[in-house]
Amino acid sequence: MSTYLIGDIHGCYQEFCQLLEQVAFDPSQDELWLTGDLVARGPNSLEVLRKVKSLGDSVRIVLGNHDLHLLAVFAGISKNKSKDRLQPLLEAEDCDDLINWLRRQPLLQIDHDKQLIMAHAGITPQWDLPTAQRCAKDIEAVLASDSYPLLLDAMYGDMPNNWSENLSGLARLRFSTNALTRMRYCFPAGQLDMICKEKPEEATPPLKPWFDIPTQIPPSYTIVFGHWASLEGKGTPSNVIGLDTGCCWGGSLTLLRWEDGRYFHQPSTQLKAEE
């Protein structure tokens, strides 16, 4: 049995299948972890969702900001942008089934035996692991309920940006959603900055990448994340691994085999997605 971790697919179905073929992925015995943002920008979001759903219990995913955006579009809360190339998915006969499956997926994956953590954007330095688990489960419970449009409507916004156990209701859910699916930079005390998207060497002080601020996560654990394609998988501490290498932007789709630390790459066959 092997554990394979793949960065943001973004509708790049052909590259996804080719990458699985590279490693001879066997869903009957292997495990596949996906960092989120399964959909949008690439050409085949529908096929990606169908494929991932068909893999059943062999796959472990986390939701990313683009996956949540799809749910918001489906619920009539957000506009369907042509650059996201979601129309074939929204018009598919199995769209309802795929959406109901997607909104029941987690925002955090943890394997204590492997000491492995996966979140789409990462883990804010203001959280320890139990707090991250609680906050992820809060979001997951709402998304799986009939009240999920309320969360999707409230998640758009950059405040509050400072964690407190006193946060409650939609403000708490918005902070948690931003931390798990949108975060890149933090202020030195850990408050989220939701504006800067530059490469770390171009960021304005005192902002730092979230992974460069002291964490409350035990150092024996490795955090795997996606979301930040411009990093190209570089510049993180040894126990933090970024796997988004920008397939939909003309880069590649990257896979890490956990057991031996070997990387596999599938170059993009797509034209660069629209910004």
Q: What is the pLDDT of residue 273?
A: 53
How many domains is the chain built from? Answer: 1
Cα–Cα distance measured from residue 161 to residue 265, given in angstroms and rounded to the nearest whole number: 35
Amino acid at 109: Q
273 in a structural domain: no
Report the chain (275 residues): mean pLDDT per 10 consecutive residues: 97 98 97 98 97 98 98 96 96 98 98 98 98 98 96 95 97 98 97 95 95 96 97 96 96 98 94 55
Q: What is the pLDDT of residue 222?
A: 98
Q: What is the pLDDT of residue 155?
A: 94
161 in a structural domain: yes
Q: What is the pLDDT of residue 272?
A: 57
Domain interval for residue 142: 3-267
133 in a structural domain: yes
139 in a structural domain: yes
Cα–Cα distance measured from residue 33 to residue 148, given in angstroms and rounded to the nearest whole number: 25
Q: What is the pLDDT of residue 68?
A: 98
Residue among 130, 222, 120, 110 nearest 177 (CA): 120
Q: What is the pLDDT of residue 274?
A: 54
- CATH classification of the domain holding 75: 3.60.21.10
